[in-house]
Amino acid sequence: MALGFFMNKDLMLYLHVLLGVAVVALSAVMLFQLGKGKASKGVAFLAALVSWAQLLPSAITYLIFYPATKTVIKAGAWPWAHAVVMETKEHWGILIPIIATTAAGLVWIGKGKESRKWWWLLAVAAVLMGVMGRIVKMGALQR
């Protein structure tokens, strides 16, 4: 029964997207509240945790459900959507939790000011991941 939870394509896709949006939102919160007390540490930790948790639905979606979609994309009008965009997304996606953990670690050791560039990098990279995901999805729909 628990395995059925992970085998639900729509649930994994929505979880993937929602956790990605949460990473962007938490990055924005960090940029606005850096240096404003202990709450920064909690939000920083949560951002790193969510970025790592986001790997699970990402991996399940990619490994189990994406192969069929990949075939549709490659046969469609935008085969480059997989060849360029998805390949980039796959590699950048692995960096998101590392960036988030680095930014959070800087906050935790009292270097909030130094972490600002890392929070910006995380926010921009996460937004770009969403844009690239949409391009890949459009590649599957184009015929």
Which residue type is seen at 70? K
Domain locations in the chain as residue ranges = 2-141
Task: Please give the Cα distance from 107 to 101 (Å, whole number).
Answer: 10
Contact 139, 81 (CB under 8 A): yes
Average pLDDT over residues 104-126: 94
From residue 32, give the alpha-carbon distance in Å to each of 14, 49, 51, 59, 110. 27, 19, 19, 31, 16
**What pLDDT sits at residue 82?**
82
The single-letter DSSP state of residue 114 is H
Model pLDDT for residues 89-108, shown as the tens digit of each residue: 888 999 999 999 999 999 99
Residue, of 4 and 13, whose pLDDT is higher? 13
Task: Please give the Cα distance from 142 to 121 (Å, whole number).
Answer: 31
Q: Is the dihedral of CA 24, 25, 31, 37 positive or negative?
A: negative
Nearest Cα residue to 94 out of 119, 63, 59, 132: 59
In sequence order, which residues have a C-beta less than 8 Å from that of residue 11 and are 6 or more positions away? 5
CA quadruple 6, 12, 15, 16: dihedral, nearest 10: 120
pLDDT band at 74 (very low <50, low <70, confident <90, very high): confident
pTM above 0.85, yes or no: yes
Q: Which pair of tokens denotes residue 78? A: 């935008």
